[in-house]
Structure 1
């Protein structure tokens, strides 16, 4: 990707810098503008579409919180929809819905996203509303108390979903007290005492122009989008002095993980939920393309080894799959299964045996071809949606520091060899495995393992 630096004319005033990043035959024309404040705007023009997806991405997530702040990023995400100096909560939602659009937001461990999808003719409205709520929310005290109740209900609802809870339990087993091991939502103990002042401080310290990427994809004109963004942000706290964009999150030092452990959450459920896995690789690791292929072969679809062995041939579980999560400085690789409590031992034995088999002998040429085809097909099919294209722009800028052209990404997958996958499998699947279990058990049930 081109440099993120800010050019300044002879008079000393900063100006926006615009570059064309790609004119991809499999995509649209991608342009990038760095505003004087350090805020970046990326667009992909797709004239054949009649809609536009518009997103504001902030390089702040739950891992940026201290222990007492746990849940602040997610709390803030809720509050920004409650009202600004120009609009109340009802106006924010009704203005977008009145034109048939949709808006939402989500918080992850490393970033937060606010987005809208509208008809192309309504993009100016979407830009004005979304920039307003991200840049100039008031965080009124009554709204803090209202949303506190909503979030506590959300936490309680999550606790009633053991299939979701087990993933958080597994992250805690691997990362312990590190922020990557915490719940994105926070807990009742951290959310209940959180004050408006604490959230306001988090908002103004973290939501700065250099930390923000705005991305849009669909039937649009880049220059018009930049102009509308600048108008919408004029006079807000994001209309700041010249600065350079923040660099993407560093991969060093690497996150320290805990020794392999077994963590059990006793719960009277009809089905046991188990995750077996280990620390993986970070998102800039060159082996990430081989990991995508390996994951597809092991548990990435109905033709995968684990699905065929555990569900199709033995009928031991309805849901079984593998997955990889990657962060700036760490990652996870894991296998999930939901099964009857009495079948847990057999499912775990089969899973361990399959992982050990692949670690020792690798995969076949036919599996390599199928795994690569799955990776390429799922990526290209995702380009049919403006939301996916918008996300790709933002993640490329925010997480990777560059936007890999579609052809190059497909070529990187094609370049993965059998030796690449088998070497990664020997390393990754040979690591000590942690186990997370939610179900009618106690720790002693797995002590021998």
Structure 2
């Protein structure tokens, strides 16, 4: 109404001009002189704040034996249980330790599920019933796990679970929905190739895994178009027949929950073991090399990845956490100070020694910087310098230690996150909350400890350098100093 009243019959025209601007002028790259950082100095105001007395917040760490229980439902199915004493909302999740690494069609199958009905109820009726019950379902198929989730009002859980199990057991093929889903998937794939972040994410996965990456283990366009959707509904029906765990956070007591699950969870008396797969291996970085992927932009994304094959070791975790906090964890960290503040090389920059998510995976040293195309060599040289000879600052170390300790003091893992923490701990062979040991060890650590850790775990590593940018704007001779250059096409990056 406002627009009609004020603008009347007037209109606006916007012309979007595409192509190269013939009047564009290049500005010579100025000489960059690093400034001397004053990270060891503070103002009187900051000093006053630092010296003020505050009562420390006491940390709260998890005791899994007290915070949760492990029950057994029918077919010997483990149930991770934590009661919700706050409100009347529940969350029920079936956790299957299999994913697209085991079957690349699983992701498509469970995207398809949301469009389906049963032999007795249409997709619209299914949606309406869930809406009326104030409940919803979702399925998250990952590379190594599938999470089948039902959540909503606990007073309607039994009805919602019955409806959900009915859908999982009796999904009916909807050919029109599959055609639309396939079209959407292919459109999203095309759009992803236009996005700088998506391209860099694929390049990162290529650097970590090589050409055979879990991220690209997807149905090809030909496979998608020729697939009989009945194959997808069969996968949905078969899922409950595999071994799995159940996570429950809600108001039901133990007895009521088990009674409900035993009555409604549709599983055979004997579950099939999850199939093993060990196809995908992270590439060990035995020599320096460069991966270059083309993307037309004024800013490059540049990463470094190093995998020397060392696996999870709980004894180094406290030192690793403090090293990451000191070296690359914040705006006060060495990486940000040296790469952005001192040298003006970065829009953003970080570096960290990444902990594996499972026992079979290695630690990896990773760096990232977004910078202008003509600053590529400067950025690489600067990163190499601080990775090899880490700047030492007692004041920065003190802030890093205080920051990590404060975060551990104030961090709270509550409600359903207790169950997630238990699963992640299990993945690393742990039975306790590892934050407790980190909190106990960090206060006595010194900058010398971090330096020793850096020399053992970071210094003199070999790297896979991976760069997303416009090749015509890059100094290729400078790039070749860091290792043989391998050009990666978009088709290789995305797998299509």
TM-score, shorter chain, exceeding 0.5: yes
Give the 3 Å change call, closer, same or farther, for CA 145–272 of structure 1 in structure 2: same
Q: Deviations over 1:318-368 (max 9, x none)?
A: 333345363432244322222332333333333222222249999985266
Correspondences of 1:65-76 after superposition (within 5 Å): 65=103, 69=104, 72-76=105-109
CA deviation map 1:363-413 (0-9, x unaligned) = 9852662464266257x33x25x453443344445x346653x4x542345
Give distance in 1, aligned partners of 2:327 and 2:169: 44
1:373 matched to 2:401? no
How many angstroms does 1:167 deviate by? 2.4
Identify which of 273, 276, 284 aligns with 2:301. Answer: 273
Farther-moved stretch of structure 1 (201-210 vs 425-434):
201-210
Out of 333, 338, 341, the position equivalent to 2:365 is: 333
Deviation of 1:433 after TM superposition, in Å, equals 1.0
In the other structure, the counterpart of 1:5 is none
Q: 2:290 aligns with which of 262, 268, 275?
A: 262
Q: 1:317 corresponds to which residue?
A: 346
Pick aligned residue for 1:35 from 66, 73, 84 = 73
Structure 2 residue 149 is matched with structure 1 residue 115: yes
Q: State which drifts further: 340-349 or 419-428.
A: 419-428
* Structure with greater Cα Rg: 2
Larger deviation: 323-332 or 199-208? 199-208
For 1:433, the equivalent position in structure 2 comes to: 463
- Secondary structure of 1:163's match? helix
Q: 2:374 aligns with which of 339, 342, 362?
A: 342
1:175 to 209, 220, 223: 209
341-350 vs 135-144, greater mean Cα deviation: 135-144
Aligned to 1:78: 111
Structure-1 separation of matches of 2:452 and 2:125: 55
Q: How far apart are 1:435 and its partner, in Å?
A: 1.8
Per-residue CA shift, 1:215-266, capped at 9, x if unaligned?
12244423323332333323xxxx113359769x899997553644322221
With the length of structure 1 as denominator, give the TM-score of the two structures.
0.74
Q: Residues 253-299 of structure 1: CA distance to partner in whole angstroms, max 9, x if unpaired?
A: 97553644322221112432222122277885324454343333333
Please show how residues 179-328 of structure 1 align to structure 2 within 5 Å. 179-180=213-214, 182-183=215-216, 188=221, 191-196=224-229, 199=232, 208-210=241-243, 212-234=244-266, 239-243=267-271, 256-257=283-284, 259=286, 260-279=288-307, 284-286=312-314, 287-322=316-351, 324=354, 326-328=356-358
The alignment's TM-score, normalised by the length of structure 2, stands at 0.68
Q: Distance in 1 between matches of 2:378 and 2:131?
A: 50
Distance 1:359 1:59 in 2: 43
Deviation at 1:195, TM superposition (A): 4.5
Over aligned residue pairs, what C-alpha RMSD do you find? 4.1
Residues 1:136 and 1:262: Cα distance change in structure 2 (over 3 Å): farther
Offset, 1:438: 1.8
Deviation at 1:191, TM superposition (A): 4.3
What are the within-5 Å matches in structure 2 for residues 403-414 of structure 1? 404=432, 406=433, 409-414=435-440
Q: How many residues align?
A: 409
For 1:413 and 1:428, locate their aligned partners in 2 and report how far apart those are by CA, in whole Å. Answer: 21
- The equivalent position to 1:47 in structure 2, one of 85, 95, 100, is 85
For residues 293 and 475 of structure 2, the distance between their equivalents in structure 1, rounded to whole angstroms, comes to 12
Residues 160, 199 of structure 1: alpha-carbon distance in 2 compared, 3 angstrom cutoff: same
Q: Distance in 1 between matches of 2:318 and 2:219?
A: 32
1:349-368 map, 5 Å: 349-358=381-390, 366=398
Contact 1:151–1:185 (CA under 8 A) maintained in structure 2 = no
